[in-house]
Structure 1
Amino acid sequence: MKKNKPKYKQIIDAAVEVIAENGYHSSQVSKIAKKAGVADGTIYLYFKNKEDILVSLFQNKMGQFIEKIEQETTSRQNAEEKLLTLIETHFEQLSLDHHLAIVTQLELRQSNKELRLKINDVLKRYLAVIDQIVAEGVEENLFRKQLDARLVRQMIFGTLDETVTNWVMKDQRYNLTSQAKEVHSMIVHGLST
């Protein structure tokens, strides 16, 4: 399978850097190839076009991102701990890869509708983790019983997403992960009984 080949990973990693540094629209396939250390034509053995690179990059990197969040949260005892772990892991992973943070927070926002639908498809797994934590929180009486789960999911994801976007826009001048406990506290108090 193409995704297991070393060049695939090289191209994905190079694409993250090139797109973060130049913006999606100014990132030619030739720049990505050069950064990856492969011939331009090699890219087309793995990807149909530049948009396919962006979608694959998101699927690949967010797949790893979500997997880490799933692993970290399942090892926690209750909904409150799981929510804090989700927030910390979200912030940590993006603060460790500022190129990926720029791509996810800025470049993917400028994409067309078809691309956004593919991105939303990848995010479903992540949103399911949030839904599960909220349901557990309701069961444990941490959160109110009469919550609109869809709205709560949007609020939690939107809060994390905007916190990271603000950090990216401020050129990552402060410690993103240090905000996790305060964000957690605001969410828990906002949803509590």
Structure 2
Amino acid sequence: MKNEKPKYNQILDAAVEVIAENGYHRSQVSKIAKKAGVADGTIYLYFKNKEDLLISLFQEKMGNFIERIRKATENDEGADEKLFALIDTHFRQLSEDPHLAVVTQLELRQSDKRLRAQINDVLKGYLHIIDSIIKNGVEEKIFHNHLNIKLVRQMIFGMLDEVVTNWVMQDQRYDLKKQAKDVHFLISNGLKKHT
């Protein structure tokens, strides 16, 4: 029901912008409504409260984000090429939507436990993609066969996350997309078997 109405996405887009510019705690529902061009009460037709709006925003936006990464890595290429596609797509998407980058890198970190649990549920799909790439690399015999997949996944996700956070903290003064090759080089060479 939520997704069928165009105002739903309008409100989510407005929320990303308002939260990125003001911070979650200073983003009143009235500011989001004004940015979306709807009455305050309209927001409550779609969301229970501001926290529900933040969760929905994350589920919707990160759901789309993860789907684009899934598509970018669903080719017949090898694990190393898929790893590059994942890194490149991650950086490309956030550089194309700087407001979303601010919200995902800064505002979602301040959430309470219950909110974090719901956010982590959404991220599971992304972590499964990383696991799959690592396993493919091991099966292709290009990555070490004694890797602790859970630890490697955390390191890959952590590195991408930190690079984007640094870019956000530096007011996006440099080209995030250009970081993909260097990050891929570091991760790939750490995973590869050297003969």
> Which TM class, normalised by the smaller chain length?
over 0.9
Aligned residues: CA RMSD: 0.6
> Residue deviations 1:19-40, cap 9 Å, x none?
0000000000000000001010
Q: Which residue of 2 aligns with 1:122?
A: 122
Q: Which residue of 1 aligns with 2:20?
A: 20
> Residue deviations 1:88-124, cap 9 Å, x none?
0000000000000000000000110100000000000
Q: Which runs of 5+ in 2 are unaligned?
A: none
**CA–CA separation in structure 2 for the residues paired with 1:61 and 1:89:** 14
**CA–CA separation in structure 2 for the residues paired with 1:141 and 1:58:** 36
What is the deviation of 1:76?
4.5
Q: Which residue of 2 aligns with 1:182?
A: 182
What is the deviation of 1:3?
1.5
What is the deviation of 1:4?
2.1
**CA–CA separation in structure 2 for the residues paired with 1:183 and 1:142:** 18
Identity of aligned residues (%): 70
**CA–CA separation in structure 2 for the residues paired with 1:58 and 1:169:** 20
Question: Map of 1:95-114 to 2, 5 A cutoff?
Answer: 95-114=95-114
**CA–CA separation in structure 2 for the residues paired with 1:76 and 1:56:** 33
**CA–CA separation in structure 2 for the residues paired with 1:64 and 1:72:** 12
> Residue deviations 1:115-160, cap 9 Å, x none?
0000000000000000000000111112111011100000000000
Count of matched residue pairs: 193
**CA–CA separation in structure 1 for the residues paired with 2:57 and 2:20:** 12
AA of the residue aligned to 2:138: V
**CA–CA separation in structure 2 for the residues paired with 1:172 and 1:71:** 26
**CA–CA separation in structure 2 for the residues paired with 1:142 and 1:183:** 18
Q: Which residue of 2 aligns with 1:47?
A: 47
**CA–CA separation in structure 2 for the residues paired with 1:46 and 1:142:** 48
> Residue deviations 1:55-110, cap 9 Å, x none?
00000000000000001110241100000000000000000000000000000001
Secondary structure class of the residue paired with 1:172:
coil
Q: 1:117 to 1:4 in 2, by over 3 A?
A: same
Q: Which runs of 5+ in 1 are unaligned?
A: none
Q: Which residue of 1 aligns with 2:142?
A: 142
Q: TM-score scaled by structure 1?
A: 0.99
Q: Which residue of 2 aligns with 1:56?
A: 56
**CA–CA separation in structure 2 for the residues paired with 1:157 and 1:47:** 30
Q: Which residue of 1 aligns with 2:70?
A: 70
> Residue deviations 1:157-183, cap 9 Å, x none?
000000000000000000001010110
Q: Which residue of 2 aligns with 1:167?
A: 167
